[in-house]
Amino acid sequence: MSITTHDHALETFELNLGPQHPATHGVLRVILTMDGEYIVKAEPVLGYIHRMHEKMGENRTWAQFMPNTGRLDYLAALSYNHGYALTVERAAGIEVPERAEYIRVITVELNRIASHLLWFGAFVLDLGGFTPLLYAFDDREHILDLLESVTGARLTFCYFRFGGVYNDVDESFLTGSLAFIKRLRERMPMYHNLVTKNIILMKRLNDIGFISKEMARKYGATGPVLRGSGVNFDVRKHEPYSVYPELNFDIPVYDKGDSMARYMVRMDEMEQSMRIVEQAIGKLPDGPVMAEKAPKVIKPPKGDYYGNVEAARGSFGIRVISDGSTTPYRLKLRSPTFSNLSLYGEAAQGMILADALAFMGSLDLVIPEIDR
């Protein structure tokens, strides 16, 4: 800790939040310049878990990079599988069977609920409440069991293939998914009674961590952070992909821009994901789950291709440049959480330290996805 005196009226000191601090949920370091209990300046520092994913993409075949996508946002890995698969399929002109796209949407939305449940439990834990974490992980475990039955994994999924999915879903997965949704619907009122309506949570989140529409747009924020500031943008609706246009769901938007608004967006999104899964299972067509003419070796024509999807934390984009060979010439990942974190320094100015930690939790950061 170093103390610096700029003038007689202001004494500041520097405080390291992280990189080993439970509230940063990973190896994120934030250098805080403090005036007593108040933050004068907050500077996030990355680089502690950098793994060169983009460079690895240039040294592997198109198919070999797929497992890497599950190691980015490991809490919502299937969205990242989906984004990469869609981008390469678009580049290579591969048609995906309808059944495969419905299965993709079902698994991605279950994964989104699992991600939001983990965020919910960990966020409340940051604020001092332990019990909701146990309830949230109990529900999340049901999703992981379902996804494991079809993907073989519970966290870093690599289930999608160029042209479809690795294997078909069976009846037990579909009935299990519907049974889980019925269970979670019955438990949502309990979550709201236990946490959302809790006076301690309300005092910690209401009118704290304000992000204006202008600030959200300036830093390129997306996902629940953007929608909590009153901007109605969701890639699934506004830049439609897969079979989302065939499904009926709403985009939760809250105008207030505080930590509670971002909390409510995610709680409402779980309800919408349940609607999507139910409809997708109801409409699931028969047929193959892999394209018949999917090439064994992928060689997209020369060109510059971009695709994006709505991941649990915002818009995940992939830009690939192909030189016509079996490996990408260049691969660039657009991380939603990187943009969401970028506004932290400006938004945290003037906050007391305890509020700044609650604010950080409301951003739902996954550090390996930022620092990839």
pLDDT digits (tens, 9 = 90+) for 7-47: 545 689 999 987 887 777 778 889 999 999 999 999 999 88
- Residue 160 host element (H or E): strand 160-161
For residue 29, being part of any structural domain is answered with no
Residue 287 forms part of a structural domain: yes
Neighbour order of strands in the sheet with 38-45: 3-5, 11-17, 29-35, 38-45
Residue 30: inside a domain: no
Is 1's pLDDT higher than 80? no
pLDDT band at 5 (very low <50, low <70, confident <90, very high): very low
SS3 38: strand
CA–CA distance, 25 with 19 (Å, rounded to integer): 9
CA distance 186 to 43: 42
Give a yes or no: residue 34 inside a domain.
no
Share above pLDDT 70 across residues of the chain, in percent, rounded to a whole number: 97
* pLDDT at residue 85 is higher than 90: yes
* Burial tier of 209 (Cβ tally within 10 Å: 0-12, 13-18, 19+): buried
| Confidence (pLDDT) at 2 | 46
- Identify the domain containing residue 242 by its residue range: 52-335
- How many degrees, rounded to 5, is the angle at CA 189 between CA 183 and CA 194? 115
Q: Residue 5 falls within a domain, yes or no?
A: no
> In the prediction, which pLDDT does 293 show?
84
- pLDDT range class, residue 144, cuts 50, 70, 90: very high
Task: Name the phi and psi angles at 33, rounded to 5.
Answer: -95, 115
Report pLDDT for 159: 92
pTM value is 0.93
Structure-token match 């996805």, residue found: 369
pLDDT of residue 48: 87
pLDDT for res 133: 94
DSSP code string of 307-365: EEEEETTEEEEEEEEE-SSSS-SEEEEE-HHHHHHHTHHHHTTT-BHHHHHHHHHHT--
* Number of domain units in the chain: 1
Asked whether residue 128 is domain-assigned, the answer is: yes
Quote the tokens at residue 170. Answer: 């069976």
Owner of token pair 């700029």: 6
C-alpha R_g of the chain? 21
Q: What is the mean pLDDT of residues 91-108?
A: 94
Kindly state whether residue 111 falls inside one of the protein's structural domains.
yes
Residue 254 exposure: Cα atoms within 13 Å on the Cβ side: 22
Largest Cα–Cα separation, the chain: 76
DSSP H helical ranges for the chain: 53-57, 66-69, 77-92, 98-126, 131-151, 171-191, 199-205, 213-218, 223-227, 235-238, 259-283, 336-342, 344-347, 353-362, 367-370
What pLDDT is attached to residue 63? Answer: 92
CATH of residue 307: 1.10.645.10
Q: Is residue 180 part of a domain?
A: yes
One-letter amino acid for residue 207 of the chain: D
